[in-house]
Amino acid sequence: MYEQNGIYTDSQSISVTNTFFQKVYLWMTAGLGVTALAAFFMLSSPSAQQLIFGNRMIFYGLIIAELALVFTMSAAINRISAATATLMFLGYSALNGVTFAAIFLIYTNSSIVSAFLVTAGTFAAMSMYGYATKRDLTGFGSFLFMGLVGIIIASVVNMFLNNAMIYWITSYVGVFIFVGLTAYDTQKIKQIGQAGFSSGQERHKAAILGALRLYLDFINLFLMLLRIMGDRR
Rg, Å, the chain Cα set: 19
- The letter for the amino acid at 70 is V
Number of compact structural domains in the chain: 1
What residues have CB less than 8 Å from 207, skipping those under 6 apart?
A: 20, 23, 24, 27
C-alpha span between 166 and 151 (Å, rounded): 9
Beta-bridge partners for 107? 232
CB 107, CB 230: distance < 8 Å: yes
- Is 3 inside any structural domain? no
Q: What average pLDDT does the segment 72-78 reach?
A: 93
The pLDDT mean for the chain works out to 91
Which DSSP category does 78 fall into?
A: T
- Is 139 inside any structural domain? yes
Q: Is the pLDDT assigned to residue 195 strictly greater than 90?
A: no
Q: Where are the alpha helices (DSSP H) in 77-100?
A: 82-100
Q: Which of 12-21, 36-45, 51-60, 73-82 has the lowest mean pLDDT?
A: 12-21
pTM of the model: 0.91
pLDDT score recorded for residue 17: 79
pLDDT score recorded for residue 15: 73
- Is 4 inside any structural domain? no
- Is 166 inside any structural domain? yes
**Angle of the 46-53 helix axis to the 56-76 helix axis, nearest 10:** 80
**Which backbone phi and psi does 107 adopt, to 5 degrees?**
-110, 155
Q: What average pLDDT does the segment 164-188 reach?
A: 96
The burial class, CB within 10 Å (0-12 / 13-18 / 19+), for 32 is buried
- Is 107 inside any structural domain? yes
pLDDT score recorded for residue 11: 54
Pick from 187, 151, 189: nearest CA to 167? 151
Question: pLDDT above 70 covers what percent of the chain?
Answer: 94
- Is 199 inside any structural domain? yes
**Which backbone phi and psi does 7 adopt, to 5 degrees?**
-110, 140
Q: What is the dihedral of CA 97, 98, 101, 105, to 10 degrees?
A: -170
pLDDT band at 215 (very low <50, low <70, confident <90, very high): very high
> Per-residue pLDDT tens for 104-122?
999 999 999 999 999 999 9
Domain range spanning residue 47? Answer: 10-229
- Is 26 inside any structural domain? yes
Q: What is the dihedral of CA 95, 96, 99, 103, to 10 degrees?
A: -160
- Is 5 inside any structural domain? no
CB 230, CB 111: distance < 8 Å: yes
